[in-house]
Structure 1
Amino acid sequence: MTGLAPVVGVVGAAGAVGAAAVAELHRRGRHVLRLAGRRRAPLDALCHGLAATGGPPPTVEVLDINDTEALHRFCTGCDVVLNCAGPAYLVEDRVARAALASGADYVDAAGDDVLWEQVEALVARVPGRIAVISAGMMPGLSALLPRYLAATLSDRPRRLLGYLGGRDRFTATAAADYLRVGEGFGTAGAALTGGVRARQPLPTRTDAELPFFPELATAVPYLSTELERVARSLGVTDATWHSVFAGPHVAQVLRQPPAGVDAPEALRRAAELDAFGHATYQLIVVELTTVAGDAQTLVLRGDNASALTGAFAAVAVAALTEGTLAVGPHHAGEALDPRVAVDLLAGSAAVSDLTVFDGEAADVGGHVEEAL
């Protein structure tokens, strides 16, 4: 980076995640923003909204990421390129290739194990570059928050318990990615017991009372490769994580997803039905218990997953441009300084509350009736 304000190009800037990331980067005012998207009108509307908050206006460009030459032209001159375009399984490393080949560092709001392998290979061929993937809610915050909580403990953690989800909408892109998240990223029903995967799959719980969640919900055990890495790094031997869905329609689609191309649209519509007449919300609840039996619980609240993902992607960009990351590839939630990242998140409009409690989640966050 030079002494001038870093130039950050955002691909997919007018989408739900991209717009949240752009708003956070603009609010911080430490970057020159270049925005790209498929259609001009949403980009202009985004810039119009930013103008009301002051600061230099971003430049905008209509861009088809399938146009390799146009994508390279957009990336050229950027210090960092942030990719918020999706679905991630279709975009893959297309934006990463253009960014790194153009001399820019790279941040991706998405990132599974397949993308990691692709980006790791790209960075190996371009010495001196930095690439950060999985700068989202899960993967991303689902790794950062356990690391942050562990840093507050006086003893080594032994057990990790987590819940992530709520009552929220799915964009078409997010629905498509979510239905493919299990492919190469983790295993439903799995958990760690004594440092190894449990022999018997854990059951999905329906109509369950979950700590800090304001209503009964469905909790699906899910062991991601991200959680396994974090557990090893923290010395945790027992780890159980749950994806949480409030409302009956999304849970039904996930139990019996329709075959083929209709599945993402079915999930999107189910989420709309579950959100109708309700305030949307997302919760991340992380409990760590030490070898001595002491426990602490972290709770993060936000209105929706897209905003939380965009906010964390912006934090990853800030960490990169401020020189806190070494050259090479990184998973955002596992590489960022957790204290610095959480401080930045706490000041974001996407986060309505971030609190650490003494005690187990079940004791300090009992079921609370939903306020309508």
Structure 2
Amino acid sequence: MTIAILGGYGAVGAAAARRLAARAASPLRIGGRTLRSAAALCEELGDGATAHTVDLSDSASVAAFCAGSTVVLNCAGPSYRVLDTVALAAREAGAHYVDVAGDLPLLRRLRALPPSDRLEVVSAGVMPGLTAILPLTLLGDDPATTRIDLHVGGPVRITPASAQDILLATGPDFGTPSATWRDGRVAPGTATARWHTTLPHFGPDVHALPYLTTETADIARHHGLGEVRQHSVYVSERIPTTLATAWADSPDDPTSWAGELAAAATADLAQHRPSYTILAERRDIPSGRLVGQRLLQADDPYRLSGLVAALTAEAALAHGGSGTWPAWRFLDAHETWSALTSDPQCRTEVRATSAAPL
């Protein structure tokens, strides 16, 4: 049972490969544009890994890489360029497919095809991915009286591929700014930004900007949650200002601002220790009482995405199945949380409390 990892020596793919190799899950194929980089990682991983040159613009190259594999794990990006290229090759090869990104555009494309007799799991990373999975560990018996508060962010590097995906993540396929989930729907204009605020676990003088992702709205709809509030957290105004400027000045091709976005993240890191934080809290709507909390912190969100991708590939190998799903519908939330708590890169905290209402 072979796992083929495309983009296998990148920031996310290498982390996934190291996890899979350490657990001796199965033989690994490490693929990408540069054979030397793939071979260097394979030398580190040991005899069970082989290096392959793969050109995403050449369908025959992608097909040859996927042929004979049991699971194809795509960690290549940017996702708007990859789209369904690798997923279709995995289908043709009869392999399960896991994509660390993909989001709703890929999910929609795959679900428009005839149903697959193999698994296709998208959004198996951090955001989307863990940002939906962690809140699911907090759900109780009465979701209609539950409010989930989700804060995500912190000072971290942004790779060139990620910068392009972030800049293109606008519009209803991705989320709604200044919105909450309430009364069974996305409610635009019901949340306000908090500039220069203090947030536990994020620090003083941070900026919490409301943005309800499509993924979060989906879990709220699926589970009948009463209310959800979601904020992206930044340690300075550099990144949100760069994003706003790019979207206003270059609406047709905001990816031309990828360098500026990456530079903004680097400037933040010059003043702050790297730390990516996901804080999910559950509150009782009638009383406002804090019922439970999940806190996850890591220095590098790309390594964290690699861990989630590896967990998803392992689950596909172990359980099989069929159909096309986002990771939060496929992975068991509590098993995923347990894996995170035992991984040395993760700092986790669980709290159940009867704190005062907020």
TM-score using structure 1 length: 0.88
RMSD (Å), alpha carbons: 2.1
The aligned runs of 1:21-170 (5 Å cut-off) are 21-51=16-46, 56-122=47-113, 124-126=114-116, 128-150=117-139, 153=140, 155-156=142-143, 158-170=146-158
Question: Do the aligned partners of 2:77 and 2:161 also contact (CA within 8 Å) in 1?
Answer: yes
SS in 1 for 2:13: helix
Asked if residue 328 in structure 1 is aligned to residue 334 in structure 2, the reply is no
- Quick one: distance in 2 between partners of 1:46 and 1:23? 9
Is the contact made by 2:39 and 2:50 (CA closer than 8 Å) also made in structure 1? no
Letter in 1 for 2:84: D
State the Cα distance separating 1:235 from its structure 2 match.
2.5
Cα deviation code 1:194-252 (max 9, x no counterpart): 32333525232222212211342221211122111211233211111111121332132
Runs ≥4 residues deviating over 4 A: 291-294, 360-364
Contact 2:15-2:307 within 8 A present in 1 as well: yes
TM-score (norm 2): 0.91
Change in CA separation of 1:199 and 1:113 when aligned onto 2, cut-off 3 Å: closer
Corresponding residue number in structure 1 for 2:274: 280
Aligned residues: 349
Which string of whole-angstrom CA distances, capped at 9 and with x for unpartnered residues, describes residues 284-336 of structure 1?
0001123564511110011121111111111111111111x531111102221
Match of 1:300 among 292, 296, 300: 296
Superposition pairs of residues 125-274 of structure 1, within 5 angstroms: 125-126=115-116, 128-150=117-139, 153=140, 155-156=142-143, 158-183=146-171, 184-257=173-246, 259=250, 260=253, 261-274=255-268
Give the superposition deviation at 1:182: 2.2
- Report SS of the residue matched to 1:322: helix
Structure 2 counterpart of 1:177, which letter? D
Q: In structure 2, what is the Cα distance between the partners aligned to 1:143 and 1:164?
A: 11
Structure 1, 195-204 or 329-338: larger mean CA deviation: 195-204
* Cα deviation digits, residues 258-297 of structure 1 (max 9, x gap): 5244211110111111112532110000011235645111
Q: CA deviation at 1:110?
A: 0.2
Report % sequence identity. 34
Report what 1:8 is aligned to: 3
- SS of corresponding position for 1:64: coil
Once the two structures are overlaid, the 10-residue window that deviates more, 172-181 or 193-202, is 193-202
Determine if contact 2:122/2:326 at 8 Å carries over to the other structure: yes
Q: Note the alpha carbon deviations across 1:142-201, whole angstroms, 9 max, x for none.
A: 111111122xx4654511100011001100000100111223121111111232333525
Partner of 1:319: 315
Unaligned runs of 5+ residues in structure 2 are: none
CA distance in 2, matches of 1:247, 1:210: 14
C-alpha offsets along residues 43-98 of structure 1, whole Å, 9 cap, x if unaligned? 233233334xxxx4410101111111111111001000000011001110000000
Q: Structure 1 23/34 Cα, relative in aligned 2: closer, same or farther at 3 Å?
A: same
- Following TM superposition, by how much is the alpha carbon of 1:125 offset from its aligned partner in structure 2, in angstroms? 4.8
Q: Supply the distance in 2 between the matched residues of 1:361 and 1:170 (Cα, whole angstroms).
A: 36
